[in-house]
Amino acid sequence: MIATAILTAVIQLVDVTSQSGVDFHHETGATGEKYMTETMGSGVVFFDYDADGDADLLFINGGDPTGRRGSSTSAATLYRNDGHGSFTDVSLAAGLEHIGYGMGATAGDYDNDGDADLYVTHYGPNFLFRNNGDGTFSDVTTEAGVGNTQWSASATWADFDNDGHLDLYVTNYVDFSLTNNPNCSQTRDGNVIRAYCLPDAFRGIPDELYRNRGDGTFESAGSRAGIALPSGKGLGVVSLDYDHDGLLDLYVANDTMPNFFFRNRGDLTFEELGLIAGVSYDADGNALAGMGVDRSDYDRDGDLDLFVTNFEGEANTLYRNEANGFFTDIAMRSGIGRPSLRRLGFGAVFADLDNDGLDDLIVANGHVLDNADVLQGSDYAQPNQVYHNDGGGVFSVSDLDAVGVSRGLAVADWDGDLDLDLVISSSGAAPELLRNDTEGGASLRIRLVGRQTNRDGIGTVIKVGSRRFESAAATSYLSQSENIVHIGLGDEGLIEEIHVTWPGGHEERRGPFDAGTTVLWVESVQQPDQF
């Protein structure tokens, strides 16, 4: 069945899952023992694995959390896009099928050979798959030295030392294990009810940073870099250059703990400034249950702002960048905070759904307690939300029609019509592929290719007038959107000039560019191609 959700006067999303060829179903492997891993996954990634210009689709799966039942569920399922939004399962042929309890993934060309490699996080151990360039992948985890055995959540690629090679940041969550699984029962009306434990029942695990040596191997640099703090319970992560110094900084959403904000000092060491910058707590000084995260210049003032999803009863937070090293939580005054109080948010992505030049916000919702109705008077399955950017720093919210236990969220122009479509993953259920049928404005899309810098162009700054865009790998929760910079233009038909700053500071100015096209911008090439 195709369900249409009319969200505002202009935004229209259509559920086309049943006709897309995607038949994925997430498996929690629920045992009745209420293992915490069962309720936290999993993510989804858009990336062009075969370099044909289309956004292919990777789903991460769970399976058997105990590893004792001989599960045959692969932790990764890859679908090839035919260019028009029809997908074919190529997991077996690609060599990505592997057993494990998967959580999320991030795609990036860590070896600069022109194709996208994959890092898949698990409830230990993680996997690195090198793209062989012929439609197949090879497991190179051991030789690369990135087989983190903790319970990892989100991860992201970024070149933190500007040496031209993508480094890898991995968030680690809590010290849950099969032997450290407390009975978190609650009593209601005289009945003892077993429930999933919340993170306060466990200790946090320090995150990890892997420095890319440039020879296919990585070194563990977390402790030296200053990011291996024991107080975190990391779930979401995003890179950004918040202070415009040419170095990628890090923001980490922690669950029930203060969020981390790592300023890059430039020597692959970081200074944690979350409290000082105003992004560790909400406006009332509370540490929240941070889940997903994204960043955007949603107010078109030339710097990147931050958004974090939180637990039900806690407003999602929108931190406005004040351009002086400080941020202000404006969730309530922006129209984002109050509608989020009755939702438990996970995935989050800024995307200009109607191409009006203002980034809208999509949030994937779903509770972590499968008996939330009894224990908290809430709903396990919840509607996802779209916050339309009305301009002036104000958003208006609409619920999507369907309800689900949503987790991962990513966007891409999977059907090639120059607007952004969505995929939402669900715990223990099928995903939703939502095609964007909005009659919106024009757009311009930029595909970056680094030559002296990292091949993906991650960390590149693009300026269009007063607006700032930064190329990034993973955002959201356990997920990643396509690595193409999408610029909504409204009724503009021509951009006279675009200013690009590559990692390390090399600047290029090019133009003019016609709306309704995709630009292949290769570093140090005089005039980019348009198609």
* Residue 165 identity: H
Across residues 425-451, what is the average pLDDT? 97
Higher local confidence (pLDDT), 278 or 528: 278
How open is the CA angle 143-146-152, to the nearest 5 degrees?
150
The reported pLDDT for the residue numbered 70 is 56
Instruction: Give the confidence band of 3 by pLDDT, cuts at 50, 70, 90.
Output: very low
pLDDT reported for residue 72: 72
Read off φ and ψ for residue 97, nearest 5 degrees: -65, 130
CA 84 to chain centre: 24
Give the bridge partners for 191, in sequence order: 188
Over residues 3-32, mean pLDDT: 84
Name the H helices within 128-217: 141-144
pLDDT of residue 168: 99
What is the full DSSP assignment across 203-249? -B---EEEEE-SSS-EEE-HHHHT---TT--EEEEEEE-TTSSSS-E
Does the pLDDT of residue 526 top 50, yes or no?
yes
Give the integer Cα–Cα distance in Å for 47 and 39.
Answer: 26
pLDDT at 9 over 70: no
How high is the mean pLDDT of the chain? 95
Residue spans of the domains in the chain: they are 13-522
Global pTM value:
0.96
Task: Quickly state the pLDDT bin for 7 (edges 50, 70, 90).
Answer: low
**Ramachandran assignment for 104, one of left (phi > 0), alpha (psi -120 to 50 degrees), beta (any other):** beta
> d(Cα 399, Cα 389) in Å, to the nearest integer?
15
Confidence of residue 4 (pLDDT cuts 50, 70, 90): very low
pLDDT tens, residue by residue, 373-416: 999 999 999 999 999 999 999 999 999 988 999 999 999 999 99
How do residues 157-210 score in pLDDT, each as one tens digit? 999 999 999 999 999 999 999 999 999 999 998 899 999 999 999 999 999 999
User: Do you find a cis peptide bond into 220, omega within 30 degrees of 0?
Assistant: no
Helix residue spans in 358-441 (DSSP H): 372-375
| Angstrom distances, CA of residue 406 to CA of 121, 140, 233, 383, 472 | 18, 31, 20, 9, 23
Measured CA to CA in angstroms, residue 256 lies from 287, 288, 324 at distances of 6, 5, 27
Residue 462 has pLDDT above 50, yes or no: yes
In angstroms, what CA-CA distances link 178 with 168, 196, 260? 28, 13, 28
By the 8 A CB rule, do 409 and 59 touch?
no
Give the residue from 361, 362, 373 showing the smallest Cα distance to 432. 362
- 21, 26, 53: which is closest to 40 by C-alpha? 26
317 pLDDT more than 60: yes
Question: Could you report the per-residue pLDDT of 109-152, keeping only the tens digit for each?
Answer: 999 999 999 999 999 899 999 999 999 999 999 999 999 999 99
Let me know the angle formed at the C-alpha of 358 by 354 and 361, rounded to the nearest 5 degrees.
Answer: 75
Let me know: does 318 contact 296? Beta carbons within 8 Å: no
pLDDT value at residue 165: 98
Q: Which residue has the tokens 């090439």?
A: 525
β-bridge mates for residue 403, sequence order: 383
pLDDT tens digits, 32-82: 999 999 999 999 999 999 999 999 999 999 998 887 655 678 999 999 999
Identify any residues that bridge with 209 across adjacent strands, giving them in sequence order: 169
Superfamily of structural domain 13-522: YVTN repeat-like/Quinoprotein amine dehydrogenase (2.130.10.10)
Answer whether residue 10 shows pLDDT above 80: no
